[in-house]
Amino acid sequence: MKTLKNWNLEKNDDTTVYLRVEDRHLVCINILADTLFRVRLLKDGTWRLDRSWTINPDGQTFPQGRSRDSVAGFSCPSYRLTQSENQLQIETGSLRLTITQPLQFTWEARTERGWALVTEDRPTGAYMLGVRTHAHSHFLRRQSKERVYGLGEKAGKLERSKRRFEMRSLDAMGYDAEHTDPLYKHLPFTITQTESVGSFSIFYDTLNTCVLDIGRELDNYHAPYRSFTADDGDLDYYFRWSPRILDLVKSQLELTGGMALPPRWSLGYSGSTMAYTDAPDAQNQLIGFLQKLEEEGIPCDSFHLSSGYTSIEDKRYVFTWNREKIPDPVKLTGQFNDAGVRLIANIKPCLLRNHPHYQEVAQRNLFIKDSESDNPELSSFWDDEGSHLDFTNPDTLAWWQDNVTHALLDQGITSTWNDNNEFEVWDHGARCHGFGNEIEVGLIRPLHSLLMVHASWEAQSHYSPQTRPYLVTRSGCAGLQQFAQTWTGDNRTNWESLRWNIRMGLGLSLSGIYNIGHDVGGFAGPQPGPELLLRWVQNGIFHPRFTIHSWNDDGSVTEPWTHPGVVREIRAAIRFRYRLLPYLYTCLWQAVNHKEPILRPTFLDHESDPRTYDDTDDFLLGRDLLVASVVEEGAITRVVYLPDNGSGWWDFWTGQWHSPGTRVEQSVSLEDMPLFVRAGSILPLADEAEKATPEAEVGRTLMLFPAPGSFSSTSMIFDDDGESRDGPQCITELQLSGDDQGLELNLTHTGDMPFPFSQLKVSLPAGERRPLSCKGQLIKKGGLITVREGS
């Protein structure tokens, strides 16, 4: 690659400034918002790939993509352009970009003290471009005290400095959650906190394999730097500044299309194991699971139907049913649906060469084509070779949706589990239809994962147009959250995975992927022992996705009752998950409507507290619950740092108040799940719930956690029927205020649905002594309040 140096201003218009570089290439800077610029480099003035699928601010991207020249969906404010010798400045009210010779960008933000440096390109060569290829690199100067986050589900510490990461989706079964790279998802997005001028994010809009080096590399000829490199495609990145990291996280979700609101039942426990469907009597094994749930008194709302239901001998053949294992799929799904347990069927995007439909699909040209012939590409898949479906072909999308409908939905299946969709097609030049404009697969590999999920979503939406679809995907890129929930793939069964998966989930959340979880208990390896399984369940219940899923080396099954010695504690943890449903569902609604992350590192809400940046196993669920999972074998104590939030924290279980910014060490037994609540908040809890559906909630309690002294705070609850697309809703605003003399609670309801309960139980922590009143009426501890519409 060759370093780009010389440039001149070619022109500008209402939204864009154009630079001619080295008299042949074009750099275009879009001014998209007051704090958002976009930089794109066009080799010889043309795109290598002229469409994007990860940018979707206006909801118009799918399935055919969005023109990379489009600025639809952005505010595109006016800007000031000034030019002097060898320098150009582009300025909005909050962000200023200075471009100097040789080609270098310097970013500044407007503060109370005037313009202040945010970051700058490496002064000794910032942009490189292939001479005979489309390889390209971007180099930023690295500051010693900056912190870097993002990049999705990457292994290791949440802070990414001094490491190198590759975006190349792989089926990394049994990965090391501290060290393995790359993994399943493609998310070249970083957030960098500066020493004193807020934070900035960079999203590289590429689907090509790429490498982000966050300061691992050193070169004597350059000041400390970090880099982005891809061997093909286009350099196209979005630069945003904000005083707060939280705003950058929320903005990334908005940029990439927002988030789907799944049905409420998706928050319930979801069973899963490969062992049942791999068994020769799979249907009996599956019905046995339902019976065992009832015997053990464990609530469950769904079950992930592993791919064994499609098997012929030891291979998997998507959209087929093994009638020897499952003689009557309709009867099976009917029994599950009658029990209120929805089946989520595993589907895969690659057809093995002896798949019953392979020849038909090949004749219809629905596969990705080989780079050197019109034959289907062949890649390793499930201990054999197969061909991957081409989801950039409208005929393939129609074929896929037809099969989802008739092979699954017509059989009573509720949802799809889009699995093994890393599209490991290593023939970079293999050809895709590209919706009529052929594209090499190497430019868009993760796109197929996204389009696969979108096609499944379309099929489910058309089949049940009145209800919200639920889907799961293992792989994908930015934008997957518009349609599906995801998880961190086939983790290893060990204590290290339990600990490091927490950080992987937070990395996804900071990258705009909120609805996530992990394979509770571990997927690959030995069966988890009693203590490990219990601790994993106790951590898993505080994630949006809560699924116990396994493929154990010895073929054993991991389920809540695997170890009788800890069934009581596991049952209690799962039942507590169901008590949390009103809070969890509200967090889910806030994620969709307010772009609020569900899982949050503690620094996200406490940026001014330096101790929250220490590497930790703690995290926030919503803004009010601090989860301190026990992740060490044989632990008898758990140390928790309670961030400085100005109001303090209540121990959920003991009702003891703790000062903000303090370190607490607690004794823990096997049944303990350390949990703290932000002082000033209100938690809505279900009194009882055997299912995650609204009608299963027989009563509700408001747990009030007042702040000390004089205060006023607001919480909320979201309610609806749990599944309708545009059904009636009720939003309840809870205002809690107080002083040294007493506490006052007020409720206000808005929306077109009545509040689900005529009475609410109210509780206060054991350590709270002030009297409580509601609308002037004194409420006893554990007392009831009457709910009136509009009040």
SS3 of 755-789: the string is CCCCEEEEECCCCCCCCEEECCEEECCCCEEECCC
The dotted CATH code for 300-487 is 3.20.20.80
Q: What is the pLDDT of residue 314?
A: 86
Judge contact between 604 and 245, C-beta under 8 A: yes
Judge contact between 736 and 744, C-beta under 8 A: yes
What contacts 84, CB < 8 A, 6 or more positions away?
Answer: none
Strands (E), 553-706: 599-600, 619-621, 625-627, 637-642, 649-651, 657-658, 662-667, 675-678, 681-686, 700-705
Q: What is the pLDDT of residue 790?
A: 42
Specify the pairing of strand 777-779 against strand 772-774: antiparallel
Q: What is the pLDDT of residue 781?
A: 65
Determine the 3-state secondary structure of 241 from DSSP: strand
681-786 matches 599-678 in CATH topology: yes
Which CATH class name applies to 599-678? mainly beta
Burial profile 328-355: b = 16 or more Cβ within 10 angstroms, e = fewer: ebeebbebbeebbbbbbbbbbbbbbeeb
Spans of the chain below 70 pLDDT: 781-782, 788-791
Report the percentage of the chain scoring pLDDT > 90: 96
The dotted CATH code for 2-151+188-255 is 2.60.40.1760
Which CATH class name applies to 681-786? mainly beta
Q: What is the pLDDT of residue 791?
A: 39
In the sheet that holds 649-651, the strands lie side by side as: 599-600, 619-621, 625-627, 675-678, 649-651, 657-658
Q: Which long-range contacts (CB under 8 A, 24 or more apart) does 372-377 make?
A: 372/429, 377/425, 377/427, 377/430, 377/441
- d(CA 704, CA 624) in angstroms, rounded, equals 12
Sign of CA dihedral 24, 30, 36, 40: negative
- d(CA 488, CA 79) in angstroms, rounded, equals 42
End-to-end CA distance of the chain: give it in Å, rounded: 67
Q: Where would I find the H helices in 55-169?
A: none
Domain boundaries, the chain: 2-151+188-255, 300-487, 599-678, 681-786
Smallest Cα–Cα separation from 527: which of 501, 504, 559? 559
Judge contact between 449 and 476, C-beta under 8 A: yes
Encoded amino acid at 24, one letter:
R
Q: What is the pLDDT of residue 782?
A: 67
pTM of the full structure:
0.97
